[in-house]
Structure 1
Amino acid sequence: MRNYLFLLVFVLIGGSIAAQEVAMSASEISAFKQKVIATAKSTNSIKADFVQFKHLDFLANDVQTSGKMVFKAPNLVKWEYTNPYQYSVIFKEDKLLINDGGTKSKVDIGNSNLFKKLNELIVNSVKGNMFNDADFRVSFYKVSKHYKAVFVPKDKKIANYIASFELLFNKDDAQVHEVKMIEPSKDFTRIIFSNRVLNSKVNDSVFSN
């Protein structure tokens, strides 16, 4: 079975665009944060397709996977990988539910403050609302059609696994377009979301293993 820590790193992740970045002004940051927070508060559920790229220095090409993500307030998240393999991860009530091609397992993360924090990051990155997190220093930029927020961890335990965490937001609707996590080794993972549907009905049965 895949290593649990690697799994957390694997699902957390996702994206930046090779374009010129311009730092946002204080007034722009304030308006942007208010819009994102308002959107997050009004979001009860999210369904989206995603493509994930895992970059490892020793590989010539990034490892590409794809699937579907489902979020239900306040903190249920399911990542279902459908290509090139069948694999799902559910974060539910301090539990990590894994289905690896039919092989099911459960991991209790409630006793680990670090893993609980990583779980919170997953939920908040999906919603886009991480700005009140005291564990990070945050910088804001304008990038082409997006706003970019870069989170650098203050907590040394988190910094052992995450060098920086980046979110790209669409300028028009303040929705998260891409997520990127850069590891201390400089390897990184990008997740690009598409076909996002907000506030549709999501049954609790979706989050069963």
Structure 2
Amino acid sequence: MIKKLIFGILIFVVAVQLSAQENGTTISVDKLQQIMKTKTAGVNTISCDFIQDKHMEYLETVITSKGKLFFDKSNRLRWEYKEPFEYLITINNGKFTIKTDGETSNYDIESNQMFSKVSELIISSVNGTIFTDENFNVKAYERDTQYHIFLEPKVAELKEVLNKIEMLIAKKDFSVDRVIMFEMDDNYTEINFINKKFNENLPDHIFSAK
């Protein structure tokens, strides 16, 4: 059950970008990561809204969810779905918390290798270090206003649920605009990040599941 939950979280969270052809100018992943590291050095917090569209092969309609994301540089994160259901993930002080249907489950990241890896993937997808994650093959392309990143899983467990992840990163502020996660069938999840704000003061209670 826990393993299925973990993969469900990965599909929700490590998910993020745009389906498109691999056009544009190839750019070294190491070079892009170094550029992002320099350009985002002064970013301490990020908050934004997100709109998630789930495309299911057997459904004609798209399942749309909305919520908010908060992140700070000390690797604290709040990922909260507000519509059409409430679902909350927080990472704070070595604890991974999931709250759904009024019930809260807490996990110690350090003592649980699986949650430690999930935490690492979630954080790295926000701060950009996912580009050099050993679990993925990564390619990057440069366009006029964005960078287009392709991530293909290398490890068996991820290959069971993910075909690839695509990310679009805005050149103007080097933040993630969109993520798309493609599953092994024809289903995919697209998340657009909007109303992004940087370096706002985020009080401690933001990263609590209470």
Question: 118-127 or 188-197: which moved more?
Answer: 118-127
Partner SS, residue 130 of structure 1 = helix
What is the match of residue 45 of structure 2?
Answer: 45
Superposition map of 1:123-162 within 5 A:
123-142=123-142, 145-162=145-162
Cα deviations across residues 95-150 of structure 1 (Å, max 9, x unaligned)? 33223253333244544434422321211112233223222211112456321111
Contact 2:162 2:181 in 1 (8 A): yes
Q: Which residue of 2 aligns with 1:72?
A: 72
Pairs within 5 Å for 1:13-92 = 13-18=15-20, 20-26=21-27, 31-92=31-92
Query: How many residues are paired up?
Result: 207
Given that 1:36 and 1:129 are in contact with CA atoms closer than 8 Å, whether structure 2 keeps it comes out as no
Q: Check conservation: 1:178, 1:192, Cα contact below 8 A.
A: yes
- The change in CA–CA distance for 1:60 and 1:123 in structure 2 (over 3 A counts) is same
- State the partner residue of 1:180: 180
Could you tell me which runs of 5 or more consecutive residues in structure 1 were left unpaired when the two chains were aligned: none
What is the Cα-based RMSD across aligned positions, in Å?
Answer: 2.6
Distance in 2 (CA, whole Å) between partners of 1:98 and 1:35 is 34
Q: CA 1:78/1:55 → structure 2, altered by over 3 Å: closer, same or farther?
A: same
**1:11 shift after superposition:** 2.7
- CA–CA separation in structure 2 for the residues paired with 1:7 and 1:25: 31
Contact 1:164 1:182 in 2 (8 A): yes
How high is the sequence identity, in percent, across the aligned residues?
31
- Offset of residue 17 of structure 1: 4.7
Judging changes above 3 Å, is the alpha-carbon distance between structure 1 residues 23 and 143 closer, same or farther for their aligned structure 2 residues? Answer: closer
Find the aligned partners of 2:123 and 2:185 in 1 and give their Cα distance: 24
Say if 1:148 and 1:166, in contact at 8 Å, map to a contact too: yes
Return the TM-score normalized by structure 2.
0.84
Alpha-carbon distance between aligned partners in 1 of 2:10 and 2:19, rounded to the nearest angstrom: 23
Alpha carbons of 1:162 and 1:110: their partners in 2 closer, same or farther (altered >3 Å)?
farther
SS where residue 36 of structure 1 aligns? helix
**What CA distance in whole angstroms lies between the structure 2 residues aligned with 1:161 and 1:117?**
16
CA 1:52/1:8 → structure 2, altered by over 3 Å: closer, same or farther?
A: same
Gaps of 5+ in 2: none
Aligned pair partner of 2:14 in 12, 15, 22: 12
Who is 2:105 aligned against? 105
Relative to structure 1, the CA distance from residue 152 to residue 17 in structure 2 (aligned partners, 3 Å threshold; closer, same or farther) is closer
Change (3 A) 1:30 1:103: closer
> Taking structure 1 as the reference length, what is the TM-score of the superposition?
0.84
Rounded Cα–Cα distance in structure 1 between residues aligned with 2:27 and 2:148: 14
What code does the residue aligned with 2:181 have? Answer: M
Q: Is the contact between residue 17 and residue 143 of structure 1 (CA under 8 Å) also seen in structure 2?
A: no
Q: Partner residue of 1:165?
A: 165
Once the 2 structures are TM-superposed, how far is the Cα of residue 165 of structure 1 from its aligned partner? 1.9
Letter paired with 2:165: F
Q: How far off is 1:184 after superposition? A: 2.1
